[in-house]
Amino acid sequence: MKRLLVILLALGLVSGVFAVTKQIDSSGNMIKVEQRSTHKLDDGRAVTTIFIEWGNLNDKPGVGFHAFDGFVDPEYGEISITDVRMFDTGGSYERGTDDKILNEGPDFVSWRASTVGRTDGLTVRIISDRDTTIHVKVGEWHGEFKLKAGKVVTDSLRSTTTVWSPGSTAVTTTRPTVTTPSGSNRVNAWADGMVIKVRWGNLDEHATTPYGSFDGKATITSGNGEIKVVNWFDWEKGGQYAQGKDDAVTKNGPQEIKWRASVKGGDSDGLDIKVTPKSGTVKVKVVIGDFSKTFSFTKSTGGVWGPTP
């Protein structure tokens, strides 16, 4: 996955708008991080405002699904959301219409958001009486930057390999832990270029979720092509299936993939399926329990294969 490279600058007591954008997937999704302003309150505390926007910023046709779950968390100080832009609710996550603010501050802000050819965004305000590190997650990218005397330190933003847990301390788990009530497991799948990404379990970062069985399969239903699992995520082996272990791919292509998997205690698993079309419109159907979704891949007039929105 491409890394997001962002520079945040604050100049003087009040800074001019400064922004940088980065494409983060093959279908054209972008992220924009914008430093709005920095000023001081009468009591000496510094106020820094940052706007983050993601999705199809260039209004390009054919831009597909992307997950943009994230958070902003200062080690010291208070943070709040001052504006939310184009969040869509009342639908399904894989269609980009199940966005939600998970935490509004004051320790950290976090959100669940996805897009399909559109854009989302929000503005946060950080108030701090001391120098502090700000931890950030947007989509797959994790990083941090530093505030000194209320100003963003030039070139301090960097990607990190240690994942930060909002409102707590640095940990080395595979994702941040957002403290929310117990909830339900669910399944999600989307196309990122010629790879189908499938995830299941505690996708909404609940504090815990119950045991769940997620045996599944992916099958080429039409067209001439091949499929193969190329990545496994958080799979556990060597234990009992009823304890969320003993996961395995039992058949790995070329026309069909089958797997055995379960989760317990708030875990999530997943896999990536590479699609290699040869001719015709290649359709791949993914089935996990009641979840079913078919992906189509076609060749453009320029001879480039890609997913069909």
* Residue range 273-302, pLDDT digits in tens: 999 999 989 999 999 988 899 999 998 877
Look at residues 238, 235, 249, 239 and name the one whose alpha carbon lies nearest to residue 200.
Answer: 235
> Around Cβ 24, how many Cβ atoms within 10 Å?
21
Contact indicator for 228, 273 with CB cutoff of 8 Å: yes
Contact indicator for 187, 288 with CB cutoff of 8 Å: yes
pTM higher than 0.75, yes or no?
no
Distance between CA atoms of residues 95 and 190, nearest Å: 9
| Per-residue pLDDT, 254 | 94
Distance between CA atoms of residues 244 and 238, nearest Å: 10
- Phi-psi category of 105—alpha, beta or left, where left has phi over 0 and alpha has psi -120 to 50? left
| Per-residue pLDDT, 145 | 74
Q: Which residue ranges of the chain lie beneath pLDDT 50?
A: 1-16, 169-181
Peptide bond into 254 cis (omega under 30): yes
Look at residues 180, 225, 177 and name the one whose alpha carbon lies nearest to residue 206.
Answer: 180
| Per-residue pLDDT, 211 | 82
> Around Cβ 210, how many Cβ atoms within 10 Å?
13
Enumerate residues 6+ apart whose C-beta is below 8 A from 59: none
Instruction: Give me 117's structure tokens.
Output: 């050819």
Spell out the domains of the chain, with CATH numbers in brackets.
Answer: 18-171 (2.60.40), 186-307 (2.60.40)
Contact indicator for 51, 109 with CB cutoff of 8 Å: no
